[in-house]
Amino acid sequence: MFVIIAGCGEAGARLSNSLAEMKYNIVIIDREQSSFEKLNQEFNGITILGNAIDIDIQRKAGIEDADIFIAVTGDNNANLMAAQIAKRIFKVNNVIARFNGHQVETVYERQGIKIIYPIILETRHIIDLINNKFSNQCLCWQLSGIKICKSFFSSKAVKKKVGEIQIPGHFTINIIFRQGEAIIPQQKTVILDGDSAVISLKEDSVHEVSKWFNDLKEEKLECVSP
């Protein structure tokens, strides 16, 4: 799947790194060359220096062949303008724009642009944590079929290395929680009894991956959309 991302700030870089690890074809656009330094050394996508609201820059990025266009710059107006260009001029099927603030008019969603509100997502996550539901809940990004879950490792995973159980392109361990601390795991990180993790995986990998976790069962996953 071919994804174009506008904005290589913290959100854009993390999104690009994660999707690239899952073998998506990524092109990321930013106006500052230094912004691309946030990308992992292993990032194998394409970077384009320019303004995403420039039609020629979007065309250079390959917008006419894109499956998904995501605008996550730090500028609300730039995100909405870039998204409209992708949707209205280049007819991209799946277009997402981040908007920092209160909800905007639904005119954008009527145009087929999905608006993501970080403040609403953050509020949902905090409420989930307060209600202690997050360990059994899976947040689904419906457009790409990716699930992001938190669960405790099962006894089968204990003493194994992260690299032994990850499935490139299908299942990634993003963060391990251990005795109140968060760890960004390496391939050689050993899983210990009592560890939990935030993971990302494709929907068709849930059954295969579930053996490594206590609560990761398809029938138990309650999904919510951003």
What whole-number distance in Å separates Cα of residue 199 and Cα of residue 216? 10
Query: What are the chain's domains?
Result: 2-116 (3.40.50.720), 132-224 (3.30.70.1450)
160, two tokens? 């194994």
Residue 182's pLDDT is 85
- Indicate the DSSP class of residue 88: I
Residue 111's pLDDT is 85
Q: Burial of 123 by CB count in 10 Å (0-12 exposed, 13-18 middle, 19+ buried)?
A: exposed
Sheet (strand 94-98) strand order: 46-49, 25-30, 2-6, 68-71, 94-98, 113-116
Residue 168's pLDDT is 86
Residue 34's pLDDT is 96
Model pTM?
A: 0.59
Q: Along the chain (226 residues), what's the average pLDDT of each consecutive run of 10 residues?
A: 94 90 94 95 95 97 96 94 96 91 72 80 54 48 63 92 91 88 91 89 85 70 45
What whole-number distance in Å separates Cα of residue 147 and Cα of residue 223? 8
Alpha-carbon separation of residue 96 from 70, 83, 210 (angstroms): 5, 7, 30
What whole-number distance in Å separates Cα of residue 150 and Cα of residue 176? 9
Q: Do residues 31 and 51 make contact, with C-beta atoms less than 8 angstroms apart? A: yes
DSSP H or E segment with residue 103? none
Helix (H, G, I), strand (E, B) or coil at 93: coil
Q: How many whole angstroms from its chain centre is CA 183?
A: 19
Residue 148's pLDDT is 79
